[in-house]
């Protein structure tokens, strides 16, 4: 008798499935050992003599979001005499066959993927790449966590929390606004360098990804400080202005202040999401005069207009609502400052905002004097700043990021700028990257790579003869208060 084929499995269950050319085991072993670079550049890996033979020296496009639908036609059993036996055999075979098919599908879905590396041909990056041994490994997501949304949400709620204790310094900016610097305790004695961390939108020193990277940098002998923007991580709001992807003045003052505290050390920075956008905009604005010695950008939104478009599609509406809620809470706690701020804020739109765009239209664009939210997003996007960056910069993006879309990544500008190195992972979600030896509950896959990059920069700078650090003033900031706080609360979704 005929037996119906089981229901087909799709990406909504198995995760965001790719449809690459699946290499043979021999070729796969080659992909594990060899990296391909944009434009056929050899990336300076002296120990890797062979390279991909695909056109342009790159791996075939992986694509994303495609459904994987295997078809399975079972054998038809004929003849009444064998009908009972066939049914008994099917009842035994189907579970085993189902497990086998599922295992085969998962093996294909979670197959190790090569990384896309852009900008490896410059002299700077050619000297750094041999030290970035994390790039020699293929990217393999943790089983059942390859879906872009599952990975993003899992990392938010289930990633472990180091629960660091901080010494908090509240600084008064030149315009009267306030930011909070959190120094993990105990502080490193005789540090080799200083690292500033910039969390994402509405994020701060409580976020698990921030704490994990702070802990790693401290274990390497670096002094670490988390820069909490206005209103974030309970930083006090003292003027009618909260965190903005556009505003870089605070960043400039904070960098100068920290550099003045460590006059003999080089200062670096790492940013995530909107924090990465602020960091890259700052690097571009400073150009040749930038006091930072290097930087890392992770999950940068790059183009706020494109990100805003995707925020209104599908499941991304959940992130949109969550972030808008976080911004609204900041505003509500300090509403009196805005209502007495003397600007034409749209208070009904702000107080009923269900999306980031509505909040930015009612408040943020008004703070900075833009006529429309689209004009504000255009000015605030860091994709146009890459070409002006004059210090070493590592950018790491995920092909499956639902908040920082792949089409917003400025590939051409990264490739054209010899100071930039761009790495794109085949999976990762937003601030997820649940992969690597510490997955699923440990640090993101990016942490070892980012730390290797920073250590390589510091080693190269240390070996450079005649290096003297430029003396910086304190940025004109004033120390408003010092306190101790323990990070024990887990932030909510995308906060």
Give 66's pLDDT tier (boundaries 50, 70, 90).
Answer: very low
Whether 102 has a pLDDT exceeding 60, the answer reads no
Q: Give residue for tokens 């460590």.
A: 262
> Which tokens hold the place of 237?
């709001």
Lowest mean pLDDT among 64-73, 133-142, 214-223, 435-444: 64-73
Predicted pLDDT at 487: 82
Predicted pLDDT at 385: 98
Predicted pLDDT at 128: 96
Q: Which residue, among 42, 17, 30, has the nearest Cα to 114 in the 3D structure?
A: 30
Whether 61 has a pLDDT exceeding 70, the answer reads no
Give 121's pLDDT tier (boundaries 50, 70, 90).
Answer: confident
Q: Which residue, among 8, 184, 3, has the nearest Cα to 87 in the 3D structure?
A: 3
Percentage of the chain surpassing pLDDT 90?
69
Q: Which residue, among 394, 460, 454, 414, has the nearest Cα to 268 in the 3D structure?
A: 454
Give 469's pLDDT tier (boundaries 50, 70, 90).
Answer: low
User: Across the strands, what pairs with 296?
Assistant: 270, 394
The beta-strand segments (E) located in 160-243 are 165-172, 178-184, 194-198, 223-228
Contact between residue 279 and residue 383 where contact means Cβ atoms under 8 Å apart? no
Q: Tell me the pLDDT tens digit for each residue of 182-230.
A: 999 999 999 999 999 999 999 999 999 999 999 999 999 999 999 999 9
Whether 180 has a pLDDT exceeding 50, the answer reads yes
Q: What is the Cα–Cα distance from 71 to 7, expressed in whole angstroms?
A: 9
Lowest mean pLDDT among 16-20, 112-116, 147-151, 315-319: 16-20
Of 452 and 93, which is predicted with more confidence?
A: 452
Whether 72 has a pLDDT exceeding 70, the answer reads no
Give 89's pLDDT tier (boundaries 50, 70, 90).
Answer: low
> Which tokens hold the place of 457?
């920069």
Lowest mean pLDDT among 62-71, 133-142, 390-399: 62-71
Kindly state the average pLDDT of the residues 30-59.
Answer: 40
Q: Is the pTM of this model over 0.75?
A: yes
Q: What is the Cα–Cα distance from 488 to 271, expressed in whole angstroms?
A: 22
Whether 457 has a pLDDT exceeding 90, the answer reads yes
- The set of catalytic residues is 273, 401, 430
Q: Which residues make Cβ contacts (< 8 Å) with residue 146, sequence separation at least 6?
A: 14, 15, 16, 109, 110, 427
Predicted pLDDT at 489: 62
Q: Phi/psi of residue 385, each to 5°?
A: -95, -20
Domains and CATH numbers, the chain: 11-111 (no CATH), 141-486 (3.40.50.1820)
Q: Tell me the pLDDT tens digit for each residue of 348-366.
A: 999 999 999 999 999 999 9
Q: Phi/psi of residue 231, each to 5°?
A: 85, -10
């Amino acid at each position: 008798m005929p037996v119906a084929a089981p229901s087909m499995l799709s990406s909504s269950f198995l995760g965001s499935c790719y449809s690459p050319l699946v290499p043979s085991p021999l070729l796969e072993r080659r992909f594990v050992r060899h990296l391909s670079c944009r434009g056929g550049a050899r990336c300076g890996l002296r120990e890797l003599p062979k390279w991909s033979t695909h056109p342009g020296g790159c791996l075939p496009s992986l694509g994303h979001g495609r459904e994987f639908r295997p078809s399975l036609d079972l054998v038809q059993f004929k003849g009444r005499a064998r009908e009972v036996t066939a049914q008994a055999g099917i009842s035994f075979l189907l579970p085993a066959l189902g497990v086998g098919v599922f295992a085969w599908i998962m093996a294909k879905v979670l197959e190790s993927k090569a990384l896309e590396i852009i900008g490896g041909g410059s002299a700077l990056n050619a000297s750094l790449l041999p030290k970035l041994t994390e790039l020699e490994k293929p990217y393999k997501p943790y089983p059942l966590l390859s879906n872009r949304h599952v990975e993003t949400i899992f990392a938010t709620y289930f990633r472990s929390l180091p629960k660091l204790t901080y010494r908090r310094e509240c600084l008064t900016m030149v315009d009267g606004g306030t930011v909070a610097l959190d120094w993990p305790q105990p502080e490193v004695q005789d540090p080799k360098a200083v690292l500033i961390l910039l969390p994402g939108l509405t994020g701060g020193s409580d976020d698990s990804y921030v704490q994990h990277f702070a802990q790693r940098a401290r274990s390497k002998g670096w002094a670490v400080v988390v820069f909490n923007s206005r209103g974030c991580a309970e930083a006090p709001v003292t003027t009618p202005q909260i965190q903005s992807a556009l505003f870089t003045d605070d960043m400039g003052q904070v960098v100068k202040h920290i550099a003045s505290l460590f006059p003999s050390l080089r200062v670096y920075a790492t940013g995530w999401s909107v924090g990465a956008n602020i960091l890259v905009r700052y690097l571009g604005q400073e150009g040749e005069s930038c006091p930072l010695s290097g930087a890392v950008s992770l999950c940068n939104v790059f183009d706020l207009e494109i990100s805003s478009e995707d925020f209104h599609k599908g499941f991304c509406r959940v992130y949109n609502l969550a972030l808008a809620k976080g911004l609204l809470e900041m505003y509500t706690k300090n509403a009196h400052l805005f209502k007495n701020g003397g600007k034409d804020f749209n208070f009904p739109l702000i107080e009923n905002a269900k999306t980031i765009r509505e909040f930015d239209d009612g408040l943020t664009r008004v703070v900075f004097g833009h006529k429309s939210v689209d004009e504000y997003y255009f000015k605030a996007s860091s994709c146009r700043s890459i070409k002006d960056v004059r210090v070493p910069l590592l950018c790491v993006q995920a092909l499956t990021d639902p908040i920082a879309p792949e089409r917003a990544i400025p590939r051409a500008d990264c490739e054209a700028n010899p100071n930039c190195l761009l790495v794109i992972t085949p999976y990762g979600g937003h601030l997820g990257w649940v992969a690597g030896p510490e997955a699923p509950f440990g640090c993101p896959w990016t942490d070892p790579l980012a730390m290797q990059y920073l250590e390589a920069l510091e080693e190269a700078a240390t070996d450079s003869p005649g290096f003297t650090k430029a003396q910086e003033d304190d940025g004109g900031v004033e120390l408003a208060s010092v306190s101790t706080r323990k990070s024990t609360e887990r932030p909510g979704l995308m906060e």
